Amino acid sequence: AQKVTQAQTEISVVEKEDVTLDCVYETRDTTYYLFWYKQPPSGELVFLIRRNSFDEQNEISGRYSWNFQKSTSSFNFTITASQVVDSAVYFCALSEAWETSGSRLTFGEGTQLTVNP
């Protein structure tokens, strides 16, 4: 069975600090996909990134960066120079290949990030 663990329930930082959100996953599949979503107070989950298990190249998008390490089954998310607008709940999610579980997207429990001015 697949599982996603986000051990940090809440993180509070001061604006302009860098912050890393941890995500550890479990899967028996060799082909899988990892995602990060942001849920601001308005409620809508916003898709941030998808990674497949064959691509361990780290990615940077503006102030956001993602570190995928298969050896430790981790897919961590770093926000550089955080801003108040980054305050939200962030979810890491895992999807296995179609052949094993179809479309099931397993979410972690989320990390509430609060960025204080």
Partner 1 sequence: ETGVTQTPRHLVMGMTNKKSLKCEQHLGHNAMYWYKQSAKKPLELMFVYSLEERVENNSVPSRFSPECPNSSHLFLHLHTLQPEDSALYLCASSQDRRGAYEQYFGPGTRLTVT
- Chain residues binding partner 1 by CB under 8 A are 32-33, 35, 37, 42-47, 50, 52, 91, 95-98, 101-105, 107-110
Shortest spacing between CB 29 and partner 1, in angstroms: 9
C-alpha closest to that of 27 among 111, 106, 115: 106
Using alpha carbons, list the distances in angstroms from residue 90 to 28, 36, 84, 113, 116.
24, 7, 14, 7, 16
Structure token pair of residue 38: 């942001």
Other C-beta atoms lying within 10 Å of the C-beta of residue 2:
18
Q: Which is nearer to partner 1, 64 or 107 (CB)?
A: 107
Shortest spacing between CB 68 and partner 1, in angstroms: 16
Burial of 84 (0-12, 13-18, 19+ CB in 10 A): exposed
Q: Which is nearer to partner 1, 9 or 117 (CB)?
A: 9
Q: Which is nearer to partner 1, 82 or 90 (CB)?
A: 90
Q: Which is nearer to partner 1, 13 or 97 (CB)?
A: 97
Shortest spacing between CB 117 and partner 1, in angstroms: 26
Report how far Cα 47 is from the mean position of its chain's Cα atoms: 10
Shortest spacing between CB 72 and partner 1, in angstroms: 22
